[in-house]
Structure formats: structure tokens, C-alpha cells
Amino acid sequence: MKEVIKTIVIVILAGVAIFYGIKFNKVNQRMDVLNSQDSLQSIQVNKFDHRVHDLELMFEGRGKHIQNFQSRLADFDKELDDTYNKFNNKVDSLDYVFQAFKSQTENALDGLKKSQTELNDRIYEVRKESRDRYQDLRQLLRRTTRKVTGIENDVEDLQKSVDALTSEESQ
């Protein structure tokens, strides 16, 4: 019985570990996607830096070109800010997912610990009840053995008496 309970607890723990392992892998995959998107943004920023440098060299001293460049720079800054805000939102949502995962994991582990404690208590009670029943059965067996021995002795005495009476009558 104890082995079965241990096996069940181990199977449950293994199932929970596999479930949370799968969840963790999904979160890691999402982080990989976010990291790749971040690297794409870095490449775009580098390209922009090269364009700015080229424009500075090409249009140095020309007001009209400088104004166009400033306009494009403002547009690109706005685009960078939008991308930054989107990335922050994704990071915040990922943090929320991690917090929820942590909370669920802690709750599940607390439940498992409570179940384990309850199972240990129940095993102790069953063991104690079994020990008490065993002692009761041993006492009952002793009493029954004594009674059977007493009955056998009575039967032997009666048999001897009947034999003695039969031998007296035949004489």
C-alpha cells in the first residue's frame, strides 16, 4: 500500500514537472522570437546611422537638404519610439506571464506538499489501525487456542470415563 502511494505521488510529481517544463519551453521560444525582433530593430538602427552619415556628407551646407534630413530624422525617431514602446509592452506582458507562471507553480507545489502531508498522516493512521487489529487478532487466537485445548482435554476425560464404564460393563 505504501509503495502504491509513493508511486502515485512520484507519477503526479513527474506529470507536474513535465507540464511546467513544457510551459517553460514555450516561454523560452517566445523570448527567442522577441530577441530576434530586437536584433532586427538593431540592424535597422545601424542602417539608419549609415544613411544619416551619408546624408551628412552629401548635403553638408545645404539648407533644403538639411531640412529634409531633419524631417526624415524626426519620422525615424518617431518610428523608433513606437517600436520601443511596442517592445516594452511585449516585455511587460512577458513579465506578467512569468509572474502568473510563478504563482501557479508555487500554488501547485503548496498543494502537493499539503497532499503529501495528508497522505503521510493517513498512512500513519492505517499503520496504527493495522497494528491494533493485529494485536486484537493475536489475543483472540490465544483465547481460542486455550478454549480448544480445554475442550480437547474435556473430550479426552469424557472418552476415558466412557472407556472405563464400557470396560466395567463388559466384565
Q: Identify the three-state secondary structure at position 1.
A: coil
pLDDT at 164: 80
Residue 115: CB atoms within 10 A of its CB come to 13
Residue 158 is assigned to a structural domain of this protein: no
Lowest mean pLDDT among 7-21, 52-66, 72-86, 128-142: 52-66
Checking if the pLDDT of 160 tops 80, the result is yes
Residue 168 is assigned to a structural domain of this protein: no
pLDDT band at 134 (very low <50, low <70, confident <90, very high): very high
Distance CA 111, CA 126 (A): 22
Lowest mean pLDDT among 47-51, 81-85, 96-100, 152-156: 47-51
pTM: 0.38
Residue 70 is assigned to a structural domain of this protein: yes
- Number of structural domains found in the chain: 1
Residue 136 is assigned to a structural domain of this protein: yes
Residue 166 is assigned to a structural domain of this protein: no
Residue 26: CB atoms within 10 A of its CB come to 12
Q: Give the structural domain span for 131.
A: 2-142
pLDDT tens per residue across span 71-105: 888 998 899 999 999 989 988 888 898 999 999 99
Residue 159 is assigned to a structural domain of this protein: no
- Mean pLDDT of all residues in 163-171: 75
- Among 92, 90, 98, residue whose Cα is nearest residue 41: 90
SS (H, E, C) 122-169: HHHHHHHHHHHHHHHHHHHHHHHHHHHHHHHHHHHHHHHHHHHHHHHH
Residue 171 is assigned to a structural domain of this protein: no
pLDDT band at 132 (very low <50, low <70, confident <90, very high): very high
Residue type, 8: I
Residue 127 is assigned to a structural domain of this protein: yes
Higher pLDDT among residues 43 and 107, named by residue: 107
Contacts of 105 (CB under 8 A, 6+ apart): 20
Rounded to 10°, the helix 63-170/2-58 angle is: 170
